[in-house]
Structure 1
Amino acid sequence: MNHQIYPPSQDLAALVECYWTLESPKEKTPEKNIIVPDGCMKMIFHYGDLYKQYSENGNCDFLPRCFVIGQLTRPLEVEPTGETGIFFVRFHPYGFLPFATIPIKEMENTAVSLEKLFGKDGKDIEKKILTAGSTSERIELMETFLLSRLIDTETIDHIVKSTVETILTANGQLSVDELSKQTNINRRQLVRKFSSTIGLSPKQLSKTIRLQATLKMLLNKKITSLVALAYQGEYYDQAHFIKDFKEFTGLTPKEFYGDDLKMSLIFDRTE
């Protein structure tokens, strides 16, 4: 499996974290992959074969060829049906808001078609991205599309932006009360701002970022003991760590550790 990461232009860097591609040949025996919540919304184009998505009850359906995936609050289980070729636009946690045409919160755990979000313009960019001959051409097309729809970057609340940066710097280890004190804004107002701008509460985003940091430590094999991992992540205790881990991956740390771990991080996170 090959994945490549590309930076956005300076004009979009405040909203877009990166572009990246994921490619792999058809597998003889396709394996399910777990996509772990990471606090970022993504615009996704399947120029290869489609992926199946499995629901919590085990039923499956095909993901759309092109869509925006809203904030995930639970693991997403997918499976390739053939050759993989995917182009992603990965937004900062607050980065999709200036382009949204429906409330961010309504997109939670949902793949929303580009036609529903952008009408005819959505169908047009789908066709252009899918028929493009290279990643560089896709990035150029995507940047032109996004910049044409970017009316006002000031739609991002500066309190939300600074609080997200604080959460990321602290690896999600600060409580909402601590975040509220640092931003000098009451807890209820902070939660309301996050919900409308990001689609997650400060607590949800912090839990997501903390688990992502934990998964990265596992991937890098810096810590192999679950007790040490829970301690490093500043979880109250190992039981609390296991509970959060299972909430976002669907598995316990012991069940999740192995090849699935590496696949999940490559599929849904920059280095």
Structure 2
Amino acid sequence: MSHPTVTPFPIINSRLRPFIKRICLVENTLASPLTQQVPPIGAIGLTFILKKGIELYIDGQNIPLNKRSYIIGHVTREGISVIHEGEVAQMVIDFTPTGFYRMFKKNCRTFNNRLGDFSEIDAKPLEVALENSSYDHKEIHKIFEDYLSSKIESALPEVPFVEEALALMHQNLLENHRIEDISNKVGIGQRHLSRMFTKTVGISPKKFFRTLQWNHIMTIISMNQKDSMTKLALACGFYDQPSFTNEFKRFMQIPPRKFINGRLQLAQLMLKE
């Protein structure tokens, strides 16, 4: 059994950088099925499946993947997993927190915990171009970039107080930032901030910040896998190992040692900063 690989592709058009966080190719080859929990990564994405060795399960029920092109919404709940078997290959476009909203003008929350159809964002021409391609990685990359570049001129402007709140959240990720304090700093009422944040980002400020924290923690863990659980807990800002282990299991639905031992290789790769 091989391990999954995530190969980053460059963002050629620099004007896409306010909208696109990452373009990558996820690949794997397995002789027997491997189930992996889908982690929250704090981004909405688009994907094109080049090789269909993927099955999606929600609460134990198989969700048929009848197409190759999908919108990937935020994961905000337990019970969502994928099974890899045989050859797996998919191109993934991860948007910046507000990039999807600004480019497609859709309430991001409506895509949570599901795969969306390209017709929901009026992107059928993109789907057709991808389906009619040779499935070459570089060609798929170019098709995505060309289409997304064509959407820049009509994109919505930034919402300043949402962007300012996002910037504040990125400051010292191992400290707790109260949403009330953030709303005071950006000069917007907490309820209005939460409502607009959820619309433009897809999840509440509290959930987004928690996801940011755990993305950062996963990076620390990946870089210090040989350390003891106690040392890792302290490095990740926890007072002791039990509290670290409990919070880890609550977020990833698996103990930290199993994560470190490679039981969630895909999560390890996708959660790295």
What TM-score does the superposition give when structure 1 sets the normalisation length?
Answer: 0.86
The within-5 A match list for 1:90-239 is 90-100=94-104, 102-118=106-122, 120-128=124-132, 131-135=134-138, 137-171=139-173, 173=175, 174-221=177-224, 224-235=227-238
Distance 1:44 1:177, change over 3 A: same
Q: Work out the CA distance in 1 between the residues paired with 2:180 and 2:245.
A: 23
Q: Is the CA contact (8 Å cut-off) linking 1:50 and 1:81 kept in structure 2?
A: yes
Q: What is the Cα deviation at residue 228 of structure 1?
A: 4.1
Pick aligned residue for 1:83 from 70, 79, 87: 87
Q: Is the CA contact (8 Å cut-off) linking 1:19 and 1:90 kept in structure 2?
A: yes
- Matched-pair identity in %: 21
Match of 2:42 in 1: 39
> 208-217 vs 69-78, which deviates more?
69-78
Runs of 4+ in structure 1 deviating by more than 6 angstroms, as ranges, are: none
Q: Work out the CA distance in 1 between the residues paired with 2:21 and 2:7.
A: 14
Q: Is the CA contact (8 Å cut-off) linking 1:42 and 1:70 kept in structure 2?
A: yes
Q: Work out the CA distance in 2 between the residues paired with 1:250 and 1:225.
A: 20
1:247 equivalent in alignment to 2:250 = yes
Stretches of structure 1 that go unaligned for 5 or more consecutive residues are: none
Aligned residues: 266
Stretches of structure 2 that go unaligned for 5 or more consecutive residues are: none
Q: Work out the CA distance in 1 between the residues paired with 2:213 and 2:141.
A: 30
Match of 1:6 in 2: 9
RMSD: 2.5
Q: Work out the CA distance in 2 between the residues paired with 1:183 and 1:71.
A: 25
1:48 equivalent in alignment to 2:48 = no
Q: Work out the CA distance in 2 between the residues paired with 1:39 and 1:256.
A: 19
Distance 1:199 1:236, change over 3 A: farther
Residues 109-156 of structure 1 show CA distances to partners (whole Å, capped at 9, x for unaligned) of: 11001133325324323314x534232x22221121112233444433
Q: What is the Cα deviation at residue 250 of structure 1?
A: 1.7
Q: Work out the CA distance in 2 between the residues paired with 1:247 and 1:59.
A: 22
Q: Work out the CA distance in 2 between the residues paired with 1:78 and 1:160.
A: 32
Q: What is the Cα deviation at residue 108 of structure 1?
A: 0.7
Distance 1:177 1:30, change over 3 A: same
User: What amino acid sits opposite 2:207 in the alignment?
Assistant: Q
SS in 2 for 1:14: coil
Pick aligned residue for 2:64 from 57, 62, 65: 62
Distance 1:172 1:97, change over 3 A: farther
Q: Is the CA contact (8 Å cut-off) linking 2:103 and 2:155 kept in structure 1?
A: no
Q: Is the CA contact (8 Å cut-off) linking 1:172 and 1:207 kept in structure 2?
A: no
Distance 1:260 1:123, change over 3 A: same
Q: Is the CA contact (8 Å cut-off) linking 1:2 and 1:22 kept in structure 2?
A: yes
Q: Work out the CA distance in 1 between the residues paired with 2:183 and 2:166.
A: 12
1:16 equivalent in alignment to 2:16 = no
Residues 44-103 of structure 1 show CA distances to partners (whole Å, capped at 9, x for unaligned) of: 1111124111222x2223344210111111353111232111111111111111233542
Q: Work out the CA distance in 2 between the residues paired with 1:250 and 1:45.
A: 27
User: What amino acid sits opposite 1:20 in the alignment?
Assistant: C
